[in-house]
A and B are shown apart, each in its own frame.
Chain A
Amino acid sequence: MRYLIRRLAFYLVAAWASVTLAFVIPRLMPGDPEATMFARFHGKLDPEAMAALRRTFGFSDAPLAQQYVCYLGHVVRGDLGVSVSYFPARVGDVIATGMVWTLFLAGLAVALSYALGTLLGIAAAWRRGGWLDAVGPPLFVLLGAFPFFWLAMLLLFLFGFTLGWSPVRHAYDSGVTPALSAQFLWSVATHAVLPAATIVVATVGGWMLDMRNTMMTVLGEDYVTLAHAKGLSPRRVMFRYAARNALLPSITSFGMALGFVLSGSLLTEIVFSYPGQGYLLIQAVRSLDYPLIQGLFLTITLAVLGANFLVDILYVWLDPRARTRSAS
């Protein structure tokens, strides 16, 4: 328990650092949000209206320290300001809609890829030199070597455009109203297949190789030999004795991957025009929507930290040695 509290303190410090960075970085970026906004109105904006807008968006020439304190206050309250490009929507609401889609698409795909890759790795290591072990790794390394976006475009071209089996853009048919209806859910599912497949195909090989290699090491351990010597069934030895131990290192990598879900699917989302976080981020950068950029960076870093904390908890639960370390 003490261990988890220590970890929590660490994550709070890290969160503060990322919040501060999210404050600093946009201010170091070239470009001027005011000028951009002014240009949106084709220069036909009287000074009073301009001043009103500045107040709305919180643009100010106040000293940085004062801005920073004000900013921290807003962040703590969860107020991320008003989006410029989606005006007058609040940044929080804009991100929330994007986040739902990203969590659904990338979260599902990453979890699926991890589960599948890990199982394949276990099977490959168990039958070392078997057909899966011979074919799997080179095949998946080859697939993993393709750039994400290229793979996405290939799938899109092949299944979406040429064969017409799958919709080519967006998260659901524009003709369907979002509701808990079978029609809507079906539409969402069909739209998610290709982008999810892209993520799975591109990442499953890494998980498989990781798991296969750790499994190989664990299979050489005395306790695996001894488990066989006890006359246990192969399935029990494979999962309870070998895989259970081989899983520990990969849990940490899974946490990292889960954290990067919010940003990592960026290219896939762009290719499929999927309205998630990555897509929002590109839009925000294109239109110099500072509040949105800041908000997105913030949620992404917080998501990485959050996922890692979850993994820490999971690790303590899975590895009794981590529990003892936490007690001492």
Chain B
Amino acid sequence: MTPPPLLEVEDLRVEYLTATGRVRVVDDVSFTVRRGEIVGLAGESGSGKTTIALAILRLLKAPAAITGGRVLFEGRDLLGLGEAELRRVRGRKISLVTQSAMSALNPVITIGEQLVDAIEEHEGVSRRRGLERARRLLELVGLDGARVASYPHELSGGMRQRVVIAMALALEPPLIVMDEPTTALDVVVQRELLGEIARLRDQRGFSILFITHDLSLMLELCTRIGVLYAGRLAEAAPARQLAAAPRHPYTRGLLGCFPELHGAATRLVGIGGTPPDPRHPPPGCRFHPRCGHSLPACHVSAPPRTVVGPDHEVACHLLP
């Protein structure tokens, strides 16, 4: 019995409305996040990962705009909400952890105040009570509670990212969108933090939409994974399935990029070429110029989504 969906993104389309025309950066992407799940979105830079994260919270700035699709959260379409309703969703229902630990915190006010701001805004508690909660939140993510009085520049990168995670947890939202939460950190701290995130998730039972370019990281952490290429979903599958039997040539290419820690030395196979310019995407399947198996059909039409197994979808002409 699968748990009910918490977040359903349906045919989401995001375009940059520029003077010279529309540039589509997210093209009819659909996926769901169920309660308690960690769903990963993988892709190279420019594949539209961050844009999707911001689109879900309706934080896109002009000239980027959502031009199609639905974002259902607990059955309600977030794209139809007014500013005031949106503010009640942000932070309390869905929170965000951004990419760079260095610039994610306001440098001129203490981290305690930044934590209290969110609590005060949503729950109207006094600053003193809020500060007490901020202290407990910091302890929850493995920091000293006395750190509420610290300024961001007094913390290391790893500590700052813990603060950002504490901030995302502050109102116990059912869903946290994490956009490259560990990318700016060194590998050891990255490990620690991932362990921390997994522990908190087990403890609190929230869902995570985990966005990164690091597929190996994702395979460890996520229940299901979507692979993005040039704004389209190439393949979506349960993590184990994706690792064991990837069907899309792009996914296979990505998985071929990791060195094996144990086992025989193998030659790493990269993916030739570079991602397409979103202003001039190739016709047909966007991956075909870099694909070693492209068919005549790939040059002409975009491949349809094909269901190849439970929760496993692939958009590729190679599939029957």
Q: Does B223 contact A (CB under 8 A)?
A: no
List residues of chain A with CB within 8 A of the CB of B90: 228-231
For chain B, residues 85 to 142, give those with C-beta under 8 angstroms from any C-beta of chain A. Answer: 86-92, 95-96, 98-100, 103-110, 117-118, 121-122
A245 touches B107 (CB 8 A): yes
Contact with B along A192-227 (1 / 0, CB 8 A): 000000000000000000000000000001110111
Contact of B91 among A221, A229, A236, A324 (CB under 8 A): A229
A230 touches B107 (CB 8 A): no
List residues of chain A with CB within 8 A of the CB of B83: 234
Q: Does A240 contact B (CB under 8 A)?
A: yes
List residues of chain B with CB within 8 A of the CB of A324: 151, 153-154
Among A230, A241, A245, A320, chain B packs the most CB atoms within 10 A around the CB of A230
A137 to B25, CA, bound (A): 33
Contact of B153 among A223, A233, A248, A320 (CB under 8 A): A320
CB-CB nearest in chain B for A321: B153
A320 to B108, CA, bound (A): 6
Nearest-Cβ distance from residue A314 to partner chain B, whole angstroms: 13
B151 touches A320 (CB 8 A): yes
Contact with A along B141-181 (1 / 0, CB 8 A): 00000000001011000000000100100100000000000
Contact of B104 among A223, A233, A248, A321 (CB under 8 A): A223
List residues of chain B with CB within 8 A of the CB of A221: 103
A223 to B118, CA, bound (A): 13
Nearest-Cβ distance from residue A134 to partner chain B, whole angstroms: 15
Contact of A236 among B62, B88, B117 (CB under 8 A): B117
A109 to B309, CA, bound (A): 73
A222 to B39, CA, bound (A): 23
B104 touches A232 (CB 8 A): no
List residues of chain A with CB within 8 A of the CB of B96: 225-226, 229
List residues of chain B with CB within 8 A of the CB of A129: 62
B100 touches A236 (CB 8 A): no
CB-CB nearest in chain B for A320: B151
CB-CB nearest in chain A for B121: A232
Q: Does B59 contact A (CB under 8 A)?
A: yes
Nearest-Cβ distance from residue B198 to partner chain A, whole angstroms: 22
CB-CB nearest in chain B for A323: B151
List residues of chain A with CB within 8 A of the CB of B87: 231-233
CB-CB nearest in chain B for A234: B83
List residues of chain B with CB within 8 A of the CB of A232: 87, 91, 117-118, 121
B151 touches A236 (CB 8 A): no
Among A222, A234, A241, A245, chain B packs the most CB atoms within 10 A around the CB of A222
Contact with B along A148-172 (1 / 0, CB 8 A): 0000000000000000000000000
For chain A, residues 117 to 162, give those with C-beta under 8 angstroms from any C-beta of chain B. Answer: 128-129
Q: Does A318 contact B (CB under 8 A)?
A: yes
List residues of chain A with CB within 8 A of the CB of B122: 231
B117 touches A226 (CB 8 A): no
B54 touches A231 (CB 8 A): no
List residues of chain B with CB within 8 A of the CB of A40: none
A231 touches B121 (CB 8 A): yes
A223 touches B167 (CB 8 A): no
A232 to B121, CA, bound (A): 6
Contact of A320 among B54, B86, B89, B107 (CB under 8 A): B107
Contact of B106 among A227, A229, A318 (CB under 8 A): A227
A230 touches B95 (CB 8 A): yes
List residues of chain B with CB within 8 A of the CB of A236: 117, 121
For chain B, residues 48 to 62, give those with C-beta under 8 angstroms from any C-beta of chain A. Answer: 54, 57, 59, 62
A241 to B109, CA, bound (A): 9
A17 to B194, CA, bound (A): 59
A223 touches B117 (CB 8 A): no
Known: A244-B108, A320-B107. A233 touches B121 (CB 8 A): yes
CB-CB nearest in chain B for A223: B106
Nearest-Cβ distance from residue B125 to partner chain A, whole angstroms: 15
List residues of chain A with CB within 8 A of the CB of B121: 230-233, 236
Known: A318-B108, A321-B107. A240 touches B91 (CB 8 A): no
List residues of chain A with CB within 8 A of the CB of B105: 223, 226
Q: Does A93 contact B (CB under 8 A)?
A: no
Contact of A244 among B98, B109, B154 (CB under 8 A): B109
List residues of chain A with CB within 8 A of the CB of B104: 222-223, 226
List residues of chain A with CB within 8 A of the CB of B98: 222, 225-226, 229
Q: Does A319 contact B (CB under 8 A)?
A: yes
Known: A223-B104, A321-B153, A324-B154. A229 touches B57 (CB 8 A): yes
List residues of chain A with CB within 8 A of the CB of B151: 320-321, 324
A231 touches B89 (CB 8 A): yes
Task: Taking A225-B54, A229-B96, A318-B108 as given, write out 15 further A-B residue pairs in contact, using a Cβ cutoff of 8 Å, ordered by the A residue number.
Answer: A223-B103, A225-B59, A225-B98, A226-B98, A227-B117, A230-B117, A230-B170, A231-B90, A231-B91, A234-B83, A240-B117, A248-B108, A320-B108, A321-B151, A324-B154
User: Closest 4 CB pairs between A and B?
Assistant: A231-B91, A231-B90, A229-B96, A230-B118
Q: Could you show 19 A-B contacts with beta carbons less than 8 Å apart?
A: A128-B62, A129-B62, A223-B103, A223-B104, A223-B107, A226-B105, A227-B117, A229-B57, A229-B98, A231-B86, A231-B118, A231-B121, A244-B106, A244-B108, A245-B108, A320-B110, A320-B151, A321-B151, A324-B153
